[in-house]
């Protein structure tokens, strides 16, 4: 069932524009950028095309919580908020990938290949889902990298991906597995990626 009206709220916090498209307490899209129009473009691209929308100057307390969470993730903080996401507009496969990626904790990364092993499909298919992720950074696609610990892709650019991962450094040293729907997902300390970057090998 389509929502009656999607509300958009965009706000600048310390030089970073953060935005959310929502109805009630369900998120249809999130985005962040360094210009307001970039955030609005991302939100409008992600919401259902046949649903009316409105941009609000004053947002609900829910939207403010989402906005603050986006900025906190950008800053490398450990955000444990769990929001309801409008995944019903995604394919079944995209839902599986999104649901796995959202479980990757701060301080860790996984690879396109290991996500594919956990939920099915191919690394390329996982990459396509990440490229179209409408919930960044709430669904932390910046924590998905190549199997050789190079950065891979990122809609905001690789420099931004590197910056966020650098802020998420926690000093972990051991890989581990987490449970996701469909199996176990191997995750690795973000230090594995950052050390490779610092050595200039990617």
Question: What confidence tens digit (pLDDT) does each residue in 23-67 have?
Answer: 999 999 999 999 999 999 999 999 988 889 999 888 899 999 999
Question: What confidence tens digit (pLDDT) does each residue in 138-159 have?
Answer: 999 999 999 999 999 998 899 9
Q: What is the CATH number of domain 90-198?
A: 1.10.10.10
Question: What confidence tens digit (pLDDT) does each residue in 108-140 have?
Answer: 999 999 999 999 999 999 999 999 999 999 999
Considering the domain delimited by 6-85, tell me its CATH architecture: 2-Layer Sandwich (3.30)
Q: Which residues, other chains included, contact 41 with Cβ-Cβ below 8 Å and sequence gap of 6+?
A: none
For residue 202, name the pLDDT band (cuts at 50, 70, 90). Answer: very low
Say if residue 19's pLDDT is above 90.
Answer: yes
Listed in order, the ranges of the chain carrying CATH 3.30.160 are 6-85
Listed in order, the ranges of the chain carrying CATH 1.10.10.10 are 90-198
| Enzyme catalytic residues | 141
pTM of the full structure: 0.94
Give start and end residues of each alpha helix (H) in 49-190. Answer: 61-74, 92-101, 112-119, 123-131, 158-167
């Amino acid at each position: 069932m389509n929502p009656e009206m999607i509300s958009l709220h965009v706000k600048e916090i310390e030089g970073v524009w953060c935005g959310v498209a929502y109805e009630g307490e369900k998120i249809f899209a999130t985005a962040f950028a360094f210009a307001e129009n970039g955030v609005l473009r991302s939100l409008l691209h992600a919401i259902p095309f046949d649903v009316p929308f409105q941009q609000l100057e004053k947002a609900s307390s829910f939207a403010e919580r989402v906005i603050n969470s986006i900025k906190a993730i950008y800053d490398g903080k450990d955000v444990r908020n769990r929001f309801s996401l409008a995944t019903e507009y995604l394919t079944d496969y995209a839902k599986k990938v999104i649901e796995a990626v959202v479980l990757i904790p701060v301080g860790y990364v996984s690879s396109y290949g290991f996500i594919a092993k956990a939920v099915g499909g191919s690394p390329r298919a996982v990459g396509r889902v990440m490229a179209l992720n409408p919930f960044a950074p709430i669904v932390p696609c910046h924590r998905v990298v190549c199997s050789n610990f190079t950065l891979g892709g990122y809609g905001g650019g690789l420099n931004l991906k590197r910056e966020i991962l650098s802020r998420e450094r926690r000093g972990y040293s051991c890989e581990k597995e987490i449970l996701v729907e469909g199996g176990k997902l191997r995750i690795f300390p973000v230090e594995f990626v950052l050390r490779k970057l610092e050595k200039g090998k990617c």
